[in-house]
Amino acid sequence: MKIVVLDGYTLNPGDLSWDELKALGDVTIYDRTDSVNIVQRALGSEVLLTNKTVLDKSVLNSLPDVKYIGVLATGYNIVDLEMAREKDIVVTNIPAYSTVSVAQMVFAHILNITQRVAHYAHEVQNGMWGTQPDFCYWNTPLVELEGKRMGIIGLGNIGKATARIASAFGMHVVVYTSKKESEIPREYEKVELNEIFKTCDIVSLHCPLTDTTKKMVNSERLSMMKQGAILINTSRGDLIDERALESALLSGRLLGAGLDVLSLEPASGENPLLRLNNCFITPHIAWATRESRERLMKQAVENLKSWIVGKIINNVL
């Protein structure tokens, strides 16, 4: 069985092993594949594994031997599902592998904004502490989390993990979710979307990107937010109108924003958020801890093994 990994580098830049996958067939691994080389590299393969390489209608029509596509991520919008269904191609994904790591990044951003650890470490290195007349020194607001109101938009696996951490910090958690009241832990309060923006000290986004949620964080909702509130996004960049966020940050309405995703990735130098000193952007790495990638690798192999023996798991069709 011929197996081709079209873009394996982000999953495994060299610190993991492909051996379990290689035991399943004749495996060729490419770090990256641009659009003009997809068909050439994939031709004759029965199995394709892809992270962000797009498999659209024209590509799938050019690959008559493909029977299985394994997406090396949770989101699978890179695959033309209608064409896959028409050609009887199984498409699987990897759910929930990064839950713990992403929730951890949410609080890395929150703690960075409220405590500014990196900033003060640099200040000390630059000699600022040593010039002070007092035993301590700070030049930014410092914020305690206990008692603050944390709004979580989307209560899937990552939203739930984030809520548990917030509760451990002594925060009051409110959620906006399509889940029924009976499905929500009793310690969390279900509220309407605009109430999240109006009443919460911290708002964290954990919902999928759809036509309904695209740019849901717009100028109107940002204007609702409390003075000094914090916005966190580890979900999808297009949930936020970035120009509107720029205005809210420049005006000082928000204390800060912590973003692991942007509308255009990698970041364009034209993105207005890059120049703001109260917008903290990480390069889409919330998912990328070694432990998270190990889970992803293991599940990708299990998905393929199950398909080989006729028991399909994590099928998205």
pLDDT digits (tens, 9 = 90+) for 254-298: 999 999 999 999 999 999 999 999 999 999 999 999 999 999 999
In the block, tokens 């130098």 appear at 269
Give the model's confidence band at 316: pLDDT under 50 very low, under 70 low, under 90 confident, else very high. very high
Residue-wise burial string across 212-232, b where 16 or more C-beta atoms lie within 10 A, e elsewhere: ebebbbeeebbeebbeebbbb
Output the pLDDT for position 206.
Answer: 97
Q: Which residues are catalytic?
A: 236, 265, 284
User: Taking Cα atoms as reference points, which of 287, 233, 240, 241 lies closest to residue 260?
Assistant: 233
Q: What is the pLDDT of residue 92?
A: 98
The order of strands in the sheet holding 172-176 is 189-190, 172-176, 149-153, 202-205, 229-233, 254-259, 279-281
pLDDT tens-digit profile of 144-158?
Answer: 999 999 999 999 999
How far is Cα 236 from Cα 159, in angstroms, rounded to an integer?
14
The mean of the pLDDT values for the chain is 97
Calculate mean pLDDT across residues 88-107.
97
203-240 tens-digit pLDDT: 999 999 999 999 999 999 999 999 999 999 999 999 99
Predicted confidence at residue 287, as pLDDT, reads: 97
Is the link from the previous residue into 208 a cis peptide, with omega within 30 of 0?
A: no
pLDDT above 70 covers a percentage of the chain that reads 100
Neighbours of 130 (CB within 10 A): 8
Selection from 263, 279, 267, 286 nearest residue 102 by Cα: 286
Res. 309 pLDDT band, cuts 50 70 90: very high
Helices 99-115 and 290-308 pack at an angle, to 10 degrees, of: 160
Identity (one letter) of the amino acid at 149? Answer: R
Estimate to the nearest angstrom the gap between the alpha carbon of 175 and the chain centroid: 18
Nearest Cα residue to 176 out of 223, 143, 213, 210? 213
pLDDT, residue 51, reads 97
User: Which residues, 6 or more positions from 128, have their beta carbon under 8 angstroms from its beta carbon?
Assistant: 137
Q: What phi and psi values does residue 248 have, to the nearest 5 degrees?
A: -65, -35
DSSP secondary structure of the chain = -EEEES--TTT-SSSS--HHHHTTSEEEE-S---GGGHHHHHTT-SEEEESS--B-HHHHHT-TT--EEEESSS--TTB-HHHHHHTT-EEE--TTTTHHHHHHHHHHHHHHHHH-HHHHHHHHHTTTGGG-SSS----S-----TT-EEEEE--SHHHHHHHHHHHHTTPEEEEE-SS-GGGS-TTSEE--HHHHHHH-SEEEE-----TTTTT-B-HHHHHHSPTTEEEEE-S-GGGB-HHHHHHHHHTTSEEEEEES--SSSSPPTT-GGGG-TTEEE--S-TT--HHHHHHHHHHHHHHHHHHHTT---SB--
User: Is there a contact between 200 and 229 (Cβ–Cβ < 8 Å)?
Assistant: yes
Interval 49-93: pLDDT, tens: 999 999 999 999 999 999 999 999 999 999 999 999 999 999 999
Residue 314 has a pLDDT of: 98
Confidence of residue 303 (pLDDT cuts 50, 70, 90): very high
Residue 144 is predicted with a pLDDT of 98
